[in-house]
Amino acid sequence: MKYNLQNCFEVDAIYSKHPLREYNNNPLVEALPDVYTEEELFEYMFSRPLHSSSDLELQKEIRFDVIQRLKHFTMPWNIHFDLARNISSMLRRGYIARNPINQKDFNQRIHSISEQDEKLIESVTFHGFKDIKSSVLL
């Protein structure tokens, strides 16, 4: 589907209907990817460092660098899934008020962000979820 909006640029995108009717007929929401399942989120966020049995045969000075690979290990916790769900919901809910199809509503609320969304963003920043935040937002 292609949306033609007056006074807006035209974007080719893959639009898909959402199971919730408040998200339909909104090109901003319909262009977003589907909501990820926990299994999909796990696959996306899980990161295991490279290793092989030959690493054990390396000199101990070099094996020290092999150990540093553990810094790239990520095992998602429940809080990471909650964070991903909250960000996904925050994006979709925020786009309801910014629907360019509904110009009256769009013009009134284009610059608004809810207090709850601001608190979520501050909480994510405060707790230092930099790496997880990056993978969820990508």
Verdict on whether the full-model pTM lies above 0.85: no
Residue 80: other Cβ atoms inside 10 A? 20
Distance from chain centroid for Cα 20: 19
Three-class secondary structure of residue 12 per DSSP: coil
Average pLDDT estimate for 115-128: 57
- Give the residues across from 47 on adjacent strands: 74
Tens of pLDDT, residues 59-72: 888 888 888 888 88
Would you state the pLDDT for residue 51?
83
d(CA 48, CA 75): 8
Would you state the pLDDT for residue 112?
53
